[in-house]
Amino acid sequence: MNRSRSKLVAFAGLVIAVVVLVVAMVGGSGLTAQTTTPEPGSATSAASAVANPSTLPTINASQLPKEARQTLALIAKGGPYPYDRDGVNFGNFEGLLPKKSGGFYKEYTVQTPGESDRGARRIIVGKDAAKYYTADHYESFKFIVEGK
């Protein structure tokens, strides 16, 4: 009797594990582990590679202009930033980035040699740590592949 009871308990445990796995795969958000998204500038965000959540073309970080790589380094360490507008909310009014709620994106200036103001180049960072580069003041974007 003891042997059949332990088999039944083991079988019940297996069934429960399979059900939990299936529910999690189908979208049972209540059963999935909660994760936190690192803030831009945290040590964790600089080390993590983010998959492209958009249909935008990609650019390797190493292919960015020197000034954009410098801005990425400032973002990774949390500043200080050269412009007062660095780190403000980016509204995505153009609708070119993935649609998210207000406050999801922050913008950072990429200095442009020869410009007397902020110029047109920016890096946009999402709360999901995805980063985008625009060289033409939000008319087009490329997803930045970090670590390459």
Query: Which residues are catalytically annotated?
Result: 107, 137
Name the token pair of 98: 């993935």
Task: Specify whether the CB–CB gap between 120 and 126 falls below 8 A.
Answer: no
Which tokens in the block code for residue 35? 């994760």
Q: Is 116 helix (H, G, I), strand (E, B) or coil?
A: coil
The neighbour count for residue 120, using CB atoms within 10 Å, is: 15
> Order of strands across the sheet with 142-145?
58-60, 142-145, 131-134, 122-126, 105-109, 88-90
**In the chain, beta strands by DSSP E:** 58-60, 88-90, 105-109, 122-126, 131-134, 142-145
